[in-house]
Structure 1
């Protein structure tokens, strides 16, 4: 089993798609843990606010299988197969960390979003503050301490139960 961290986001029908994502991810492994869900403004384009969180789980899927499975889930829940980076999302699932894997190829790991976006580092900090980032000389807590924009994140009360 590999511990992986998956970023989950949606800015269209947010409640429906976040809940669907959690239910789908629960079927990919065990030990599912959720960060707080945060509402934040869209980044890079002007649109509806996003709900974002990070999910931790242990899976037997290899990296390629996990990546393809997440893509299939996105498409099943209405993501446009030609979706670009800065546009509305029914559902966005990104592998943030996959065990101690460091990969410069797609999916790039650790995902650079750890260093760029408050909606990634804050949830990771909740789930695994002492984790050393693979290939880096920093822990999640050290990156979090230097993060900017954390105050813009608005916690969202969980509206569903996690099995």
Structure 2
């Protein structure tokens, strides 16, 4: 079994899409742990604020099968892949870690570089997996969050309460 961490983001019908996403993840993967949900400003474009969180689950599927499942969930939630890279999203699911796999190929890099780039990824990951070590840097995610050097982005994260039961 592999432990997988996935970032979840939505800024279109965001509460509904996050709820449905978590339900679908649980249907596919069973037990799913979720971080606090954070509201953050859109990055790279003008748009409504996002809801972001990180989820953790264990699976016997290989990394490519996990990605296929995530893309299927995105498609079910109305995600279109033919638009701009930085645009509003019904649902954005990005695999951050697949155990300690280090992988670099066209369109896929693990651990995902966004972990070190965006507060809305690193903060909830550090909350969920604070003692886990980054497979390349060997620092814990808690340590990486403590030295995250973007005060504006860090300050813009706002925890939100969302009833995930519908």
Instruction: Verify same fold: TM over 0.5.
Output: yes
Change (3 A) 1:128 1:15: same
The residue number in structure 1 matching 2:38 is 38
The residue number in structure 2 matching 1:144 is 145
- Whether the 8 Å CA contact 1:29–1:60 is kept in 2: the answer is no
Of the structure 1 ranges 53-62 and 139-148, higher mean CA displacement relative to structure 2 is found in 139-148
Structure 1 segment 10-49 matched on structure 2, within 5 A? 10-49=10-49
Structure 1 segment 49-64 matched on structure 2, within 5 A? 49-64=49-64
Shift of 1:107: 2.2
**Structure 2, unaligned stretches of length 5 or more?**
none
SS at match of 1:131: coil
- After superposing on structure 2, the runs of 4+ consecutive aligned residues of structure 1 that deviate more than 3 Å are none
SS at match of 2:32: strand
**Structure 1, unaligned stretches of length 5 or more?**
none
Match of 2:163 among 151, 159, 162: 159
- Whether the 8 Å CA contact 1:71–1:93 is kept in 2: the answer is yes
TM-score, with length taken from structure 1: 0.94
Q: Aligned residues, how many?
A: 162
Shift of 1:79: 0.7
Shift of 1:134: 1.0
